[in-house]
Protein backbone atom coordinates (compact mmCIF):
# COMPACT_ATOMS: atom_id res chain seq x y z
CA UNK A 1 0.00 0.00 0.00
CA UNK A 2 1.28 3.45 -0.90
CA UNK A 3 1.93 5.77 1.97
CA UNK A 4 0.17 9.14 1.95
CA UNK A 5 2.50 11.96 2.88
CA UNK A 6 1.61 14.28 5.74
CA UNK A 7 1.53 17.22 3.31
CA UNK A 8 -0.80 15.40 0.93
CA UNK A 9 -3.10 14.37 3.76
CA UNK A 10 -3.23 17.95 5.04
CA UNK A 11 -4.15 19.22 1.58
CA UNK A 12 -6.99 16.70 1.30
CA UNK A 13 -8.31 17.65 4.74
CA UNK A 14 -8.15 21.34 3.83
CA UNK A 15 -10.12 20.74 0.64
CA UNK A 16 -12.88 18.87 2.46
CA UNK A 17 -12.98 21.57 5.10
CA UNK A 18 -13.59 24.20 2.44
CA UNK A 19 -10.26 25.91 3.16
CA UNK A 20 -8.47 25.50 -0.16
CA UNK A 21 -5.53 27.85 -0.47
CA UNK A 22 -3.75 28.35 -3.78
CA UNK A 23 -0.91 30.79 -3.09
CA UNK A 24 0.29 31.12 -6.70
CA UNK A 25 -3.15 32.28 -7.86
CA UNK A 26 -4.06 34.38 -4.83
CA UNK A 27 -3.27 37.78 -6.35
CA UNK A 28 -5.05 36.97 -9.61
CA UNK A 29 -8.15 35.76 -7.78
CA UNK A 30 -8.27 38.86 -5.55
CA UNK A 31 -7.99 41.13 -8.59
CA UNK A 32 -10.88 39.31 -10.26
CA UNK A 33 -12.89 39.59 -7.04
CA UNK A 34 -12.21 43.33 -6.73
CA UNK A 35 -13.36 43.90 -10.33
CA UNK A 36 -16.49 41.91 -9.51
CA UNK A 37 -17.15 44.07 -6.43
CA UNK A 38 -16.56 47.24 -8.46
CA UNK A 39 -19.14 46.16 -11.05
CA UNK A 40 -21.64 45.32 -8.33
CA UNK A 41 -20.97 48.64 -6.57
CA UNK A 42 -21.94 50.52 -9.73
CA UNK A 43 -25.14 48.49 -9.98
CA UNK A 44 -26.05 48.95 -6.34
CA UNK A 45 -25.36 52.70 -6.38
CA UNK A 46 -27.46 53.06 -9.53
CA UNK A 47 -30.31 51.32 -7.71
CA UNK A 48 -29.95 53.37 -4.53
CA UNK A 49 -29.85 56.65 -6.47
CA UNK A 50 -32.90 55.75 -8.56
CA UNK A 51 -31.03 55.36 -11.86
CA UNK A 52 -32.32 51.79 -12.06
CA UNK A 53 -35.56 50.36 -10.71
CA UNK A 54 -34.30 46.87 -9.99
CA UNK A 55 -31.22 45.65 -8.16
CA UNK A 56 -29.27 43.13 -10.28
CA UNK A 57 -27.88 40.02 -8.55
CA UNK A 58 -25.38 41.02 -5.86
CA UNK A 59 -23.75 37.77 -4.83
CA UNK A 60 -20.35 36.19 -4.37
CA UNK A 61 -17.56 36.45 -6.90
CA UNK A 62 -16.63 33.21 -8.58
CA UNK A 63 -13.16 31.81 -8.00
CA UNK A 64 -12.58 30.21 -11.38
CA UNK A 65 -9.35 28.40 -10.46
CA UNK A 66 -10.66 26.92 -7.23
CA UNK A 67 -14.05 26.03 -8.69
CA UNK A 68 -12.47 24.24 -11.65
CA UNK A 69 -10.19 22.23 -9.36
CA UNK A 70 -13.03 21.24 -7.04
CA UNK A 71 -15.24 20.35 -10.01
CA UNK A 72 -12.57 18.01 -11.36
CA UNK A 73 -12.10 16.37 -7.98
CA UNK A 74 -15.64 16.23 -6.61
CA UNK A 75 -18.06 17.03 -9.45
CA UNK A 76 -20.50 19.97 -9.80
CA UNK A 77 -20.50 22.70 -7.22
CA UNK A 78 -23.27 22.38 -4.59
CA UNK A 79 -26.48 24.16 -5.56
CA UNK A 80 -26.53 26.26 -2.38
CA UNK A 81 -23.13 27.73 -3.14
CA UNK A 82 -23.92 28.21 -6.83
CA UNK A 83 -26.97 30.25 -5.88
CA UNK A 84 -24.77 32.69 -3.98
CA UNK A 85 -23.05 33.51 -7.27
CA UNK A 86 -26.26 34.33 -9.12
CA UNK A 87 -28.66 35.70 -6.54
CA UNK A 88 -28.69 38.83 -4.43
CA UNK A 89 -28.07 38.25 -0.75
CA UNK A 90 -31.37 38.97 1.07
CA UNK A 91 -29.40 41.10 3.53
CA UNK A 92 -27.89 43.18 0.70
CA UNK A 93 -31.34 43.69 -0.80
CA UNK A 94 -32.71 44.82 2.57
CA UNK A 95 -29.86 47.29 3.11
CA UNK A 96 -30.07 48.62 -0.45
CA UNK A 97 -33.79 49.27 -0.03
CA UNK A 98 -33.14 51.15 3.21
CA UNK A 99 -30.43 53.27 1.57
CA UNK A 100 -32.67 53.94 -1.43
CA UNK A 101 -35.44 55.23 0.84
CA UNK A 102 -32.95 57.56 2.55
CA UNK A 103 -31.11 58.72 -0.59
CA UNK A 104 -32.84 62.09 -0.92
CA UNK A 105 -32.19 62.92 2.73
CA UNK A 106 -28.49 62.12 2.32
CA UNK A 107 -28.31 64.28 -0.81
CA UNK A 108 -30.04 67.13 1.02
CA UNK A 109 -27.53 66.82 3.87
CA UNK A 110 -24.64 67.10 1.40
CA UNK A 111 -26.14 70.23 -0.13
CA UNK A 112 -25.87 72.03 3.21
CA UNK A 113 -22.11 72.18 2.68
CA UNK A 114 -21.57 70.52 6.04
CA UNK A 115 -21.53 66.87 4.99
CA UNK A 116 -19.13 65.02 2.74
CA UNK A 117 -18.00 61.57 1.63
CA UNK A 118 -14.83 60.34 3.30
CA UNK A 119 -12.27 58.01 1.71
CA UNK A 120 -13.48 55.01 3.71
CA UNK A 121 -16.92 54.89 2.09
CA UNK A 122 -18.91 56.72 4.78
CA UNK A 123 -20.65 60.10 5.06
CA UNK A 124 -19.20 62.52 7.58
CA UNK A 125 -20.06 65.87 9.18
CA UNK A 126 -17.09 67.93 7.97
CA UNK A 127 -18.23 71.53 8.51
CA UNK A 128 -20.89 71.57 11.25
CA UNK A 129 -20.86 75.39 11.39
CA UNK A 130 -22.34 75.39 7.88
CA UNK A 131 -25.65 74.49 9.55
CA UNK A 132 -26.54 77.33 11.89
CA UNK A 133 -29.78 75.86 13.23
CA UNK A 134 -29.07 73.35 16.02
CA UNK A 135 -32.25 71.36 15.39
CA UNK A 136 -31.44 70.99 11.69
CA UNK A 137 -27.88 70.01 12.53
CA UNK A 138 -29.14 67.28 14.85
CA UNK A 139 -31.52 66.03 12.16
CA UNK A 140 -28.64 65.81 9.69
CA UNK A 141 -26.55 63.93 12.26
CA UNK A 142 -29.35 61.38 12.59
CA UNK A 143 -29.41 60.91 8.81
CA UNK A 144 -25.63 60.43 8.81
CA UNK A 145 -25.79 57.87 11.64
CA UNK A 146 -28.54 55.84 9.95
CA UNK A 147 -26.78 55.94 6.57
CA UNK A 148 -23.44 54.89 7.99
CA UNK A 149 -25.04 52.05 9.92
CA UNK A 150 -26.44 50.69 6.65
CA UNK A 151 -23.19 51.21 4.79
CA UNK A 152 -21.21 49.40 7.46
CA UNK A 153 -23.64 46.49 7.36
CA UNK A 154 -23.47 46.44 3.55
CA UNK A 155 -19.68 46.31 3.47
CA UNK A 156 -19.62 43.56 6.09
CA UNK A 157 -22.19 41.48 4.21
CA UNK A 158 -20.35 41.80 0.89
CA UNK A 159 -17.10 40.76 2.58
CA UNK A 160 -18.90 37.84 4.25
CA UNK A 161 -20.33 36.39 1.06
CA UNK A 162 -16.88 36.70 -0.54
CA UNK A 163 -14.95 35.43 2.47
CA UNK A 164 -13.56 32.47 0.52
CA UNK A 165 -11.81 35.02 -1.72
CA UNK A 166 -10.03 36.60 1.26
CA UNK A 167 -11.91 39.85 0.64
CA UNK A 168 -11.72 42.22 3.62
CA UNK A 169 -14.25 44.79 4.80
CA UNK A 170 -11.58 47.44 4.27
CA UNK A 171 -11.23 46.48 0.61
CA UNK A 172 -15.00 46.76 0.11
CA UNK A 173 -15.03 50.18 1.80
CA UNK A 174 -12.28 51.33 -0.54
CA UNK A 175 -14.19 50.18 -3.64
CA UNK A 176 -17.36 52.01 -2.62
CA UNK A 177 -15.41 55.16 -1.70
CA UNK A 178 -13.79 55.10 -5.16
CA UNK A 179 -17.10 54.60 -6.92
CA UNK A 180 -18.73 57.49 -5.06
CA UNK A 181 -15.77 59.73 -5.88
CA UNK A 182 -16.17 58.82 -9.56
CA UNK A 183 -19.79 60.03 -9.29
CA UNK A 184 -18.90 63.25 -7.47
CA UNK A 185 -20.81 66.38 -8.46
CA UNK A 186 -19.56 69.95 -8.48
CA UNK A 187 -19.98 71.58 -5.07
CA UNK A 188 -19.85 68.31 -3.09
CA UNK A 189 -17.34 67.65 -0.31
CA UNK A 190 -15.05 64.65 -0.69
CA UNK A 191 -12.01 63.34 1.11
CA UNK A 192 -9.46 62.24 -1.47
CA UNK A 193 -7.78 58.82 -1.31
CA UNK A 194 -4.56 58.35 0.62
CA UNK A 195 -1.31 58.41 -1.35
CA UNK A 196 -1.13 55.49 -3.75
CA UNK A 197 -2.67 54.09 -6.90
CA UNK A 198 -6.21 55.29 -6.07
CA UNK A 199 -5.02 58.84 -5.54
CA UNK A 200 -2.87 58.81 -8.67
CA UNK A 201 -5.85 57.61 -10.72
CA UNK A 202 -8.01 60.43 -9.37
CA UNK A 203 -5.40 63.14 -10.00
CA UNK A 204 -5.16 61.96 -13.62
CA UNK A 205 -8.94 62.19 -14.08
CA UNK A 206 -10.71 65.26 -15.45
CA UNK A 207 -12.16 65.97 -11.98
CA UNK A 208 -8.73 65.72 -10.39
CA UNK A 209 -7.16 68.02 -12.94
CA UNK A 210 -9.75 70.71 -12.19
CA UNK A 211 -8.64 70.74 -8.55
CA UNK A 212 -5.00 71.38 -9.42
CA UNK A 213 -2.81 71.84 -6.34
CA UNK A 214 -5.83 71.36 -4.06
CA UNK A 215 -5.67 67.66 -4.84
CA UNK A 216 -3.53 66.26 -2.03
CA UNK A 217 -3.63 62.76 -0.53
CA UNK A 218 -6.32 62.52 2.15
CA UNK A 219 -7.40 66.15 1.74
CA UNK A 220 -11.00 67.31 1.98
CA UNK A 221 -11.91 69.21 -1.17
CA UNK A 222 -14.94 70.76 -2.80
CA UNK A 223 -15.41 69.17 -6.21
CA UNK A 224 -15.28 71.64 -9.11
CA 124, 130, 134, 139: dihedral to nearest 10 degrees?
-40
CA 105, 88, 29, 52: dihedral to nearest 10 degrees?
-50
Cα distance between residue 63 and residue 38, in whole Å: 16
Is 74 within 8 Å of 12 (Cβ atoms)? no
How many other β-carbons are positioned within 10 Å of the β-carbon of residue 117?
24
Mean pLDDT per block of 10 residues along the chain (224 residues) reads: 48 42 42 91 98 92 49 41 61 98 98 98 98 98 98 97 94 98 97 97 97 98 98
pTM score of the predicted model:
0.78
Name the H helices within the chain. 6-16, 26-49, 64-74, 79-86, 90-111, 134-161, 169-182, 197-204, 206-211
Cα distance between residue 19 and residue 17, in whole Å: 5
Q: Which helix (H) or strand (E) holds 125?
A: strand 123-125
Query: What are the distances in angstroms from CA 91 to CA 47, 59, 70, 84?
Result: 15, 11, 28, 12
User: What integer pLDDT is reported at residue 84 of this predicted model?
Assistant: 45
Cα distance between residue 18 and residue 139, in whole Å: 47
Is 61 within 8 Å of 33 (Cβ atoms)? yes
User: What integer pLDDT is reported at residue 91 of this predicted model?
Assistant: 96
Is 150 within 8 Å of 84 (Cβ atoms)? no
**Sign of the alpha-carbon torsion through 204, 222, 115, 126:** positive
User: What integer pLDDT is reported at residue 192 of this predicted model?
Assistant: 98
3-state secondary structure of 50: coil
Strands 220-222 and 123-125: unpaired
The residues, any chain, with a CB within 8 Å of residue 109's CB and separated by 6 or more, are 115, 123, 140, 143, 144
Give the residue extent of every domain in the chain: 6-191
Q: How far is CA 178 from the centre of its chain?
A: 9
Amino acid sequence: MKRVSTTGLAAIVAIFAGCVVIPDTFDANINVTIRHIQEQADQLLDYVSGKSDELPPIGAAEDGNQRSMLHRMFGPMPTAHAAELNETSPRVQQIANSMKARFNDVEAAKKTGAVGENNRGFVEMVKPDAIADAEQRNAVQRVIAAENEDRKALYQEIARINSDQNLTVGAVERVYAQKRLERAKAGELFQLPAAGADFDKFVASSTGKKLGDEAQPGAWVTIK
